[in-house]
Amino acid sequence: MQNIKLAGLILLSILLFGTFGYMGITGSSFLDGLYMTVITITTVGFQEAVPLGPGGKIFTMGLVFVGVSFVLYVFGKVTETVVEGGLQKALGRINMDKKLAKIKDHYIVCGYGRIGQVISQSLYDDHRDFVVVENNPEEIKTLTSLGYLFVEGEASNDEVLIKAGIKRAKGLIAVVSSDAENVYITMSAKDLNHDLFVMGRSSGKKGADTKLLRAGADKVISPYFIGARQMANMVLRPTVIDFLDLTVHGSLGLRLEELVVPESASFIDMTLMDSGIRKKYDLIVVAIKRQGEKEMLFNPSHLTLIKPGDIIIVLGEYENIKRLEKDF
């Protein structure tokens, strides 16, 4: 774009220089001077609008050498910018389509507004694969500059969701601005992938949560409710909230993380004490959620058996958590 602006400025300067030059030398009008300049620098060679004396001929020859060179430069720069920009865009789109075709076990973020931006950044920081679905041209530019995988279009459109890899996705987060749109997105997502975990954003208005749940959402979150409750807890229990924030975001060097115990784990059917999670990995098991059960076992006893499919919530250093996950 900068090259095009510079090229346009140079071309305008040449046109004005030639026009006023002919006006001064031949006494022609502005239109005749502009006409002479255009046919000279483009080497078209139509009939002269005004008779040229020796001075006019010398000026024309000079304008040919200078003007034609600059015109060729201008058109070269414009062509280069247009071709390179289009080529880069096309190659970028092809490369992204290849990645979208291969991606799996990822998350789909529908809507790149204020909430979608925070969610995407969190997924990126946690090295999780994700695809953003957005239709706002300005947000598309931002996504392109960040290098995020994205699909342009309406998130409630089946073809758009399929392109985002919904049939291979791990979860979908519907956080567009409208409750109705989030309901449509949830219905479309569940229709395309019944096993997909879907989280829907609710405005908090009466009945919004119920509609999202009826549409098939597995979890419904109201950012306003969570924000208000967080603010209240910060007043009532500031130290507890500070500790939770520090552990969740890793500022203390500690992390709260959930891990699914695979059948291949070496400590299947062992007690927590015998598993070595505390001793070998220096991790604290805060809670366990059994497969197929809604209730969660908080602060499990050291005699609690670990079963395949259990989701264990551990607290400890991030490196130790990753080491445990790798050893599964």
Q: 132 is in which domain, residue-wise?
A: 104-226
CA distance 121 to 115: 10
The total of structural domains in the chain comes to 3
**H/E segment holding residue 320:** helix 318-327
Residue 275 pLDDT > 80, yes or no? yes
What mean pLDDT is predicted for residues 119-129? 92
Range in 102-106, 147-151, 225-229, 248-252 with the lowest mean pLDDT: 248-252
Order of strands, edge to edge, in the sheet holding 219-221? 150-152, 130-134, 107-110, 171-174, 197-201, 219-221
Tell me how far apart the 2 most distant CA atoms of the chain are, in Å: 109
CB 262, CB 272: distance < 8 Å: no
- 305-317 residue pLDDT tens: 999 999 999 998 8
What mean pLDDT is predicted for residues 116-131? 93
Boundary residue ending a domain (30, 65, 97)? 97
Instruction: Determine, yes or no, domain membership for 248.
Output: no
Instruction: Determine, yes or no, domain membership for 188.
Output: yes
What mean pLDDT is predicted for residues 98-108? 93
Any idea what the CATH number is for the domain that residue 15 is in?
1.10.287.70
Instruction: Determine, yes or no, domain membership for 316.
Output: yes
> Could you tell me if 81 and 116 lie in one domain?
no
> Could you tell me if 268 and 207 lie in one domain?
no
What mean pLDDT is predicted for residues 230-259? 80
The packing angle between helices 208-215 and 179-192, to 10°, is 10
> Could you tell me if 141 and 185 lie in one domain?
yes
- 18-55 residue pLDDT tens: 888 888 888 888 888 888 888 877 766 666 666 777 87
Instruction: Determine, yes or no, domain membership for 323.
Output: yes
> Could you tell me if 111 and 221 lie in one domain?
yes
pLDDT band at 214 (very low <50, low <70, confident <90, very high): very high
What is the reported pTM? 0.62
Eight-state DSSP code of residue 306: P
Instruction: Determine, yes or no, domain membership for 236.
Output: no
Instruction: Determine, yes or no, domain membership for 16.
Output: yes
